[in-house]
Amino acid sequence: MSPFQYAIDKYALRRVLILDWDVHHGNGTQEIFWEDNRVLYMSIHRHDDGMFYPMGEPKDYVDVGEGKGRGYSVNIPWNATKIGDDAYRAAFAKIVMPIAYEFAPELVLISSGFDAAAGDPLGECYVTADTYALMTYHLMSLAGGRLITVLEGGYNLDSIAECASAVCETMVEGSLRKSYKSGSDGTPHKKRLQSKVWDSLRGTAAAHEPHWRCLQGFQIELDGMPGFARVFNFSR
């Protein structure tokens, strides 16, 4: 039995959010709750059009769960390398937190792998400690602050130490350092994202529009190039 399943059964929880930010999709966790509407499983991971481990698993944005669990598996798959802070912050702002607030969990669990962190040789992403702290801070606003984080993967000890420390500090202090609100070098985050990042966010929103009111008719304005804005409408 997974610790997540144990918590649900022991405390008779009806709504649990699992946020998985490990660079690899949590296929085992998703499989356990694939048909369970008590658990909202959300994963932000590298997908590479199905070629990033684990291959052959339902981890694209169209994979949303089955039966009672349909709409309760939310996958945000990256199909590019060098994904960084801006992509993760956009995913939280546009997908993760709107759905999470609508779901209104009684408990939040983080599958906290740090192999998407800057410096990790396997993940090849550039997420900083600042953004891990910020994501944690946002999740603390749910479930009356009932938040559990479980340390998972990572292949650079320095990155793991820095990012885990930022997460723990945020949980203990209940607030963000000023530096965590921008980049680690103190500069604001870029306003423009890779087109493939927007493609992933659009795809996830479109797949879950039938299941979550917060995504119905949802629009994102994208600065595709200086002086040019494109509007993507998620409504059908």
CA atoms in the 13 A half-sphere facing the CB of 72: 25
Supply the angle between the helices 157-173 and 129-139 in degrees, to the nearest 10.
Answer: 30
| Fold of the domain built from segment(s) 3-196 | Arginase; Chain A (3.40.800)
Q: What is the pTM of this model?
A: 0.87
Q: On the CB side of 117, how many CA atoms lie within 13 Å of its CA? A: 28
CB under 8 Å to 10, separation ≥6 — which residues?
none
Question: Domain residues of the chain, as ranges?
Answer: 3-196
Taking only the tens of pLDDT, the chain with its 236 residues reads 677 788 888 888 999 999 999 999 989 999 999 999 999 999 999 998 888 888 778 888 999 999 999 999 999 999 988 899 999 999 999 999 999 999 999 999 999 999 999 999 999 999 999 999 999 999 999 999 999 999 998 999 999 999 999 999 999 999 887 666 555 444 444 555 678 899 999 999 999 999 999 998 765 444 433 333 343 343 33
Q: Is 89 helix (H, G, I), strand (E, B) or coil?
A: helix
